[in-house]
């Protein structure tokens, strides 16, 4: 029986790849690539001439069974994505799971992934954190954010530069304007940047400066308050927030802005 190697590739700088990864890619019988055109640039750079087979989110369900059969027949197969570690917000989980179910040895090499350098350079607590990847764009997005409203650990999200400003606006509604955040972009590339501050400050920065490149958002967790302080904060909201008692099923709910709706949802979670 053969073996599956999960091989991280650089997220930016071509030098961010291990000697072992290069050797595995050269020795493999087949390389599965998320985008063969993108991966060909990397393979050519390191003079890797193995056969490439496309393996992405649109065909992985159909490919998995055939790939498992090839490994069972004795082939060694390497799985790569466009950048970073496969199966982390990229194709790969289905194949790894099926190999595990069939008793096939799976080895994941250590290597590049975008969220680790973003977390470390953010300056936010990193002893405990949760990785959320990409939020749902529509269905389930509000439910996910509501579930995270009281999360005490540092949270990590991937986001498109085209949706970053809107996402930060939503975060203000769910997490509060003063929640600390770091937005890291173009990690390991020439124009790498990490913008730190409150959600309001970072939002203001990207409203003035168009975001470009791959984005990682590192959001501080909710600070724990003594029970007495929490109770006082809840009472203050009841007295000062004119929309505090509006229910989601009422006519008045439709008149609220998105920010007011988010603030109301957040208040109800804290009750």
- Give the Cα separation of 194 and 213 in Å (integer): 12
Higher pLDDT, 1 or 233: 1
Q: By C-alpha distance, which of 123, 200, 199, 186 is closest to 154?
A: 123
pLDDT band, very low/low/confident/very high, at 244 (cuts 50, 70, 90): very low
List pLDDT tens digits, range 13-45.
Answer: 999 999 999 999 999 999 999 999 999 999 999
List pLDDT tens digits, range 97-113.
Answer: 999 999 999 999 999 99
Cβ(222)–Cβ(149) below 8 Å: yes
List pLDDT tens digits, range 183-203.
Answer: 999 999 999 999 999 999 999
Q: Which long-range contacts link 119-122 to residues 24+ away (Cβ below 8 Å)?
A: 119/154, 119/156, 119/218, 121/182, 121/184, 121/194, 122/154, 122/182, 122/184, 122/194, 122/196, 122/218
Phi, psi (degrees; rounded to nearest 5) at 241: -100, 110
The answer to whether the pTM exceeds 0.85 is no
The pLDDT of residue 217 is 98
Domains of the chain: 3-108 (3.40.1010.10), 115-224 (3.30.950.10), 226-271 (no CATH)
- Structure tokens belonging to residue 9: 């590739």
Q: Residue 228 pLDDT more than 60?
A: no
- Structure tokens belonging to residue 139: 């269905």
Backbone region of residue 55 per phi and psi (left: phi > 0; alpha: psi in -120 to 50; beta: other values): beta
Cβ(203)–Cβ(211) below 8 Å: no
The pLDDT of residue 234 is 46
- Give the Cα separation of 258 and 83 in Å (integer): 35
Helix spans in 150-257 (H)? 164-175, 199-208, 227-240, 251-255
Q: What is the CA radius of gyration of the chain?
A: 22
Classify residue 135 by its DSSP letter. Answer: P
Q: Residue 120 pLDDT more than 60?
A: yes
Residue 57: half-sphere exposure toward Cβ, Cα within 13 Å: 7
The pLDDT of residue 247 is 56
Higher pLDDT, 6 or 242: 6
């Amino acid at each position: 029986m053969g073996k599956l190697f999960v091989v991280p590739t650089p997220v930016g700088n071509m030098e961010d790849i291990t000697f072992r990864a290069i050797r595995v890619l050269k020795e493999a019988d087949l390389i599965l690539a998320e985008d063969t055109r993108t991966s060909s640039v990397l393979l050519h750079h390191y003079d890797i001439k193995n056969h490439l087979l496309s393996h992405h989110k649109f065909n992985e369900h159909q490919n998995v069974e055939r790939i498992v059969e090839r490994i069972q027949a004795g082939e060694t197969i390497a799985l790569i994505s466009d950048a970073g570690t496969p199966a982390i917000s990229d194709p790969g989980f289905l194949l790894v799971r099926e190999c595990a179910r069939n008793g096939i040895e799976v080895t994941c090499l250590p290597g590049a992934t975008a969220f680790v350098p973003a977390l470390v350079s953010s300056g936010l607590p990193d002893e405990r954190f949760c990785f959320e990847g990409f939020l749902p764009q529509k269905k389930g997005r509000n439910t996910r954010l509501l579930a995270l409203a009281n999360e005490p650990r540092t949270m990590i999200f991937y986001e498109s530069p085209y949706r970053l400003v809107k996402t930060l606006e939503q975060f203000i509604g769910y997490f509060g304007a003063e929640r600390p955040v770091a937005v890291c972009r173009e990690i390991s590339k020439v124009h790498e940047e990490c913008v730190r501050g409150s959600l309001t400050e970072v939002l203001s920065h990207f409203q003035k400066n168009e975001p470009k490149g791959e984005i990682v958002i590192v959001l501080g967790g909710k600070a724990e308050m003594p029970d007495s302080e929490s109770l006082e904060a809840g009472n203050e909201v009841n007295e000062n927030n004119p929309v505090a008692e509006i229910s989601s099923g009422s006519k008045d709910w439709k008149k609220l802005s998105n920010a007011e709706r988010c603030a109301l949802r957040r208040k109800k979670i804290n009750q």
